[in-house]
Each structure stands twice: as C-alpha cells, then as structure tokens.
C-alpha cells in the first residue's frame, strides 16, 4: 500500500517566506520614516524662510512679552550719516524656535534723496543735508537651536525712507 502524498511546507520554505516578508516590512517602515524626516525638514525650512523674510522687512518684530526681552538690537546707524564708512545695524533674538540674526548695511553711495532747502534749514546739526531715502542691504540668517546649523538665509535690498518735512 502506498502512503498518501504529503501536503504542506518544509521548514526551509517557511524560513525563506519569513525572510522575504521581513525584508518587505523593513523596507516599508524605512520608507515611512524617510518620508516623515523629509516632511519635518521641509516644514522647518519653510518656517525658517518665512521667519527670515518677515524679519528682513521689520527689524523690530512684534513678539510676545515672554520672548521680546530676548530680541536685542546691538547697533543702529544714523539715517543722516554720510561718512565714507559703511553703516551697519544688527539685531538678533529667538523667533519661532530659531535663532535669527539680522544685519542691515548701507553706504553713502546708497543715498537716494536729500533735501537742502534755501538757507539750509533742512540740514542736520553737523551741517550735512537731511537724508530722506537711502538704499539698504539686509541679510537675515536663521539657525537651528539644537545643532546651530543654518536653516535659512535671506538677502534683499530695499529703500529706507523717512517722511518728508
């Protein structure tokens, strides 16, 4: 009498199947983790760039009272200064979970409009004309707090002006 054929899988076949399934699951988990990390980096870069663009326009941003004390302007320049040296204004502080450093620079060549009325009543106490508009270069760097790496950098040039008399 002949024995019936065996049905089922051998131990080696089961191990091979588990190896293939395990590799597939590991690759799926790795891809999900990779997607989450890239999403966080993109969100951080976007937030940092929006912060940099906002601070570039406004050297004294509106901050909550808890954080406002940490924002400091370390140097300012006189709008009417027409010396040959570049004029620099710098500020830094913590905004949106980042360390933000802002530098504004201008030179006498950047002066766009001055006013010297008859009899010089518009001059400054030093006898120089009053400057009503000058071009400035603004550079903002945004740094991560944990490792100090730069997350975003923004450079722009715009016109700083005062109201006319």
Residue 3 lies in a domain: no
Q: How far is CA 123 from CA 11, 80, 131, 132, in A?
A: 96, 9, 9, 11
Torsional class of 22: left (φ above 0), alpha (ψ -120 to 50), beta (otherwise):
alpha
Would you state the pLDDT for residue 78?
80
Mean pLDDT in each 10-residue stretch from start to end of the chain (165 residues)?
A: 80 94 96 96 92 89 76 80 83 89 90 68 61 91 91 93 67
Would you state the pLDDT for residue 111?
86
**Contact at 8 Å (CB) between 104 and 111?**
no
Would you state the pLDDT for residue 71?
82
Residue 122, domain extent: 11-161
Query: What is the number of structural domains in the chain?
Result: 1
Residue 4 lies in a domain: no
Residue 131 lies in a domain: yes
Would you state the pLDDT for residue 118?
44
Would you state the pLDDT for residue 120?
54
> Which tokens sit at 67?
């954080």
Place of tokens 């588990």: 18
């Amino acid at each position: 009498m002949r024995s019936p054929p065996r049905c089922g899988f051998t131990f080696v076949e089961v191990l091979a199947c588990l190896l293939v399934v395990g590799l597939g699951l590991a690759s799926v988990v790795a891809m999900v983790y990779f997607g989450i990390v890239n999403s966080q980096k993109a969100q951080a870069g976007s937030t940092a760039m929006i912060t940099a663009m906002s601070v570039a326009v406004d050297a004294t941003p509106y901050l909550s009272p808890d954080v406002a004390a940490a924002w400091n302007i370390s140097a300012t320049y006189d709008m009417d200064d027409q010396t040959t040296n570049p004029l620099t204004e710098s500020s830094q502080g913590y905004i949106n979970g980042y360390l933000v450093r802002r530098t504004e620079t201008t030179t006498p060549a950047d002066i766009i409009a001055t006013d010297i009325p008859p009899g010089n009543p518009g001059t400054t106490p030093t006898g120089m004309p009053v400057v009503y508009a000058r071009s400035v270069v603004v550079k903002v760097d945004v740094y991560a707090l944990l490792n100090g790496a730069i997350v975003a950098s923004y450079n722009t040039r715009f016109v700083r002006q005062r109201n006319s008399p």
